[in-house]
Amino acid sequence: MNKKTCVLGSVVALSALVGCVPGEDGEDIDDAELGTVSADLGTNLLVNGSFTTSMSGWTETVTGGDGHGGSGWDAPFDGDLLTSIAPGCHSQDFCVGNYQNYWAQPVQLTAGSSRTLSFGYLSLHGTFSFADLSVMLIKPSGASVTLFSASDTNGAMLVQNLKLNPHLTETGSYELLLISDIGNDLGVYAEGRFDEVGIF
């Protein structure tokens, strides 16, 4: 699996996420504009991967928690997909729970094709909480592949680029899953984010 990870800072405009992608011969492209990266990677096969104004195109499933968590599109952060929040509390008696959020989108892919998955992600949590993020690909046959997992970015937004070629063994409708599994067992704030998601 070919990976490239870049640290962009703890609070950044997510349009900057595209500023670190592998070049044609493996070098980093820093401070690239969105149009430049789009032209370099090609057409995004996913709908609304930048979450500019909504969560349109994505199906959400939320499980667990105690009703104090939140999830959804986060307008204050310029169109982030905020996968989940477990808020901090004055007492652990009032917002204790684990929250699992799944964001899914189908995408047509061809066996043997050359495709790259690119996305930004953030995991933020305290000592007594966690924010585990992962990305899965469900094949047309129903077989699943875990493409990526991370448990801590210290609140920094990172970018991941993954080659999908080894996993494209079937032709048909695949499903991409963005997964956030967070918990605040002692009432400590935790959150997970994804943004700028694309299959090129």
State the total domains in the chain: 1
- Provide the pLDDT confidence category of residue 65 given band limits of 50, 70 and 90: low
- Give CA–CA dist 32/22, Å, rounded: 11
Indicate the pTM of the whole model. Answer: 0.75
For residues 69-87, average pLDDT: 70
Q: For residue 174, what is the domain's CATH number? A: 2.60.120.260
* The predicted structure's pLDDT at residue 171: 98
Bridge partners for 106 per DSSP: 175
Strand bridging mode 130-138 / 3-7: unpaired
- Provide the pLDDT confidence category of residue 40 given band limits of 50, 70 and 90: low
- Provide the pLDDT confidence category of residue 200 given band limits of 50, 70 and 90: very high
Candidate from 26-30, 35-39, 145-149 with smallest mean pLDDT: 26-30
- Provide the pLDDT confidence category of residue 148 given band limits of 50, 70 and 90: very high
- Provide the pLDDT confidence category of residue 152 given band limits of 50, 70 and 90: confident
> E-strand spans in 31-91?
59-64, 70-74, 80-86
For residues 188-198, average pLDDT: 86
pLDDT at 75 over 90: no
For residues 163-172, average pLDDT: 97
The whole domain housing 118 covers: 3-199
Amino acid, res. 188? V
8's CB contacts (< 8 A; 6+ apart) are: 16, 17, 19, 20, 120, 156, 157, 158, 159
